[in-house]
């Protein structure tokens, strides 16, 4: 909103400095600052309100050191994160941008699902919360909205390079790199970036080449399936990772910074050409959303670091996971998620392996056995006697390493 106000002021009255709102870097910085102010200054007031309403965490005794001391700590603190994301984005981003619209929908959609889950746990005294099938339905519904919009919206395109045998047959302005002639044009595409591959691109439609000619008409089905899997997996991964103070919040902030970098280079024609990656017109506006996201996570960490004064609950964790997944899909870096979100992935896998092995051994030997002392993985280290702060710090370090590797993959092929 402020973008449009200052753009109008600049045109009507030529106010000095008003034009600075046209720069993405300035608006991103302002989004980060405002998000930090909202989450730190006003976060304390919300925590006091939640405590007054007795919106406390019900902790099941898992035999972990210091666990029961967290009984009654306010939950549903994810509301702080949602406000820290939504308000700066509404103020500083261009709201007609289709990518921003999708990210706002994602934030609100997943926030509502998480809020309902927390509400059932806290006020209905049902420890299971919202039934798993309804969570999945919500995640799949969001994935369908994102995938369908990405596929059909005319404003979502990528700039493709078309190679020519000679410059003389070019219908458009020709460029030359080495012995290669080419021109670029904006096209609808199901291509995405893939790490460690020669041209760094993968077309979802190619999955169906075995159907023969005309396989392209089924590309939407494949694309939607990939989007559903990614949104569901990352959202649940963030939810599982939110098990000890500051773990999911700090890890998500690291991921958010990385996504901001990826969005900036993908939405900048010069940088995209230098890195030889897909240029995605208008996607640079997502950097502002990423700035608000990082600011909200860091600001929430002020209260969520050990010992936590508030828990984000599913209101925050489901929203964070959905945001990361949707953001990566929109900048066509979703195939980098296994690397970038490696902490979420390992946490997810640790639960699946633990449950799968327990069921297999119970059926095979009549007695369930465990590979880990407890799942998810962070609880395993707690059982081994590591302090929460040490576990969180080491997971953050791993997250930083994975973030660096993710950025480096843009040139490793």
Q: In sequence order, what are the beta bridge partners of 162? A: 183
Least trusted range by pLDDT, from 104-113, 305-314, 331-340: 305-314
CA nearest 154: which of 259, 268, 333, 282?
282
73 to each of 56, 77, 159, how far by Cα in Å? 5, 10, 50
What is the average pLDDT across 226-253? 94
What is the average pLDDT across 306-314? 89
Burial class (CB in 10 A: 0-12, 13-18, 19+), 278: buried
Query: What is the domain extent for residue 77?
Result: 2-156+192-408
- Per the domain annotation, does 43 fall within a domain? yes
Is the confidence at residue 240, as pLDDT, over 90? yes
Q: What's the mean per-residue pLDDT of the chain?
A: 87
- Per the domain annotation, does 177 fall within a domain? no
CA nearest 277: which of 138, 412, 135, 140?
412
pLDDT for 201 equals 81
Is the confidence at residue 169, as pLDDT, over 60? no
Report how far residue 203's alpha carbon sits from residue 219's, in angstroms, rounded to the nearest whole number.
9
The model's pLDDT over 9-22, given as tens digits with 9 standing for 90+, comes to 767 777 776 678 78
The model's pLDDT over 21-65, given as tens digits with 9 standing for 90+, comes to 788 999 999 999 999 999 999 888 888 888 887 776 666 656 666
pLDDT for 162 equals 62
Number of domains in the chain: 1
Distance of CA 174 to the CA centre of its chain: 37
- Per the domain annotation, does 171 fall within a domain? no
DSSP structural state of residue 56 = B
- Per the domain annotation, does 56 fall within a domain? yes
Report how far residue 147's alpha carbon sits from residue 174's, in angstroms, rounded to the nearest whole number.
33
- Per the domain annotation, does 84 fall within a domain? yes
> For the chain, how many residues are written?
413
Q: And the tokens for 124?
A: 């209905």
Percent of the chain with pLDDT over 90: 56
- Per the domain annotation, does 182 fall within a domain? no
Higher pLDDT, 216 or 389: 389
Report how far residue 149's alpha carbon sits from residue 33's, in angstroms, rounded to the nearest whole number.
31
State the pLDDT confidence band at 410, using cuts at 50, 70 and 90: confident
The model's pLDDT over 251-273, given as tens digits with 9 standing for 90+, comes to 999 999 999 999 999 999 888 88
Higher pLDDT, 147 or 72: 147
Is the confidence at residue 140, as pLDDT, over 60? yes
- Per the domain annotation, does 151 fall within a domain? yes
- Per the domain annotation, does 202 fall within a domain? yes
State the pLDDT confidence band at 360, using cuts at 50, 70 and 90: very high
Q: Tokens 């006020």 correspond to what residue? A: 123
Is the confidence at residue 212, as pLDDT, over 70? no
pLDDT for 249 equals 95
């Amino acid at each position: 909103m402020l973008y449009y106000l200052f753009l109008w002021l600049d045109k009507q009255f030529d106010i000095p400095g008003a034009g600075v709102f046209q720069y993405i870097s300035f608006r991103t910085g302002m989004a980060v600052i405002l998000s930090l102010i909202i989450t730190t200054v006003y976060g304390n007031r919300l925590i006091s309100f939640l405590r007054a309403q007795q919106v406390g965490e019900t902790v099941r005794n898992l035999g972990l050191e210091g666990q029961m001391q967290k009984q009654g700590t306010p939950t549903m603190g994810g509301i702080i994160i949602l406000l820290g994301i939504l308000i700066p984005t509404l103020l500083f981003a261009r709201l007609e941008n289709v990518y921003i619209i999708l990210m706002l929908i994602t934030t609100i959609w997943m926030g509502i699902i998480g809020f309902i889950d927390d509400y059932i746990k806290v006020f209905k005294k049902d420890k299971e919360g919202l039934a798993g099938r309804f969570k999945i339905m919500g995640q799949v519904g969001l994935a369908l909205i994102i995938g369908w919009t990405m596929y059909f919206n005319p404003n979502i395109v990528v700039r493709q390079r078309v190679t020519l045998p000679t410059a003389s047959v070019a219908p458009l302005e020709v460029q030359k790199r080495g012995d290669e002639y080419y021109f670029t044009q904006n096209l609808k595409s199901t291509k995405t970036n893939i790490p460690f591959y020669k041209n760094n691109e993968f077309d979802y439609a190619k999955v169906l080449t075995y159907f023969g000619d005309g396989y392209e008409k089924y590309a939407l089905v494949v694309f939607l399936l990939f989007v559903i899997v990614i949104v569901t997996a990352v959202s649940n991964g963030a939810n599982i990772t939110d098990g000890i103070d500051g773990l999911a919040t700090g890890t998500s902030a690291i991921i958010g910074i990385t996504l901001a970098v990826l969005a900036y280079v993908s939405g900048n024609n010069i940088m995209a050409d230098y890195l030889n990656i897909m240029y995605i017109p208008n996607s640079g506006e997502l950097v502002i959303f990423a700035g608000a996201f990082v600011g909200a996570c860091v600001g929430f960490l002020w209260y969520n670091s050990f010992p936590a004064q508030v828990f984000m609950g599913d209101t925050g964790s489901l929203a964070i996971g959905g945001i990361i997944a949707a953001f990566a899909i929109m900048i066509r870096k979703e195939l980098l998620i296994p690397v970038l979100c490696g902490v979420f992935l390992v946490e997810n896998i640790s639960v699946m392996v633990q449950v799968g092995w327990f069921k297999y051994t119970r059926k095979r030997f009549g007695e369930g056995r465990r590979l880990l002392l407890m799942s998810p993985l962070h609880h395993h280290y707690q059982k081994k006697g590591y302090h929460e702060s040490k576990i969180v710090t080491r997971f953050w370090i791993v997250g930083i390493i994975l973030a660096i590797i993710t950025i480096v993959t843009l040139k490793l092929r």
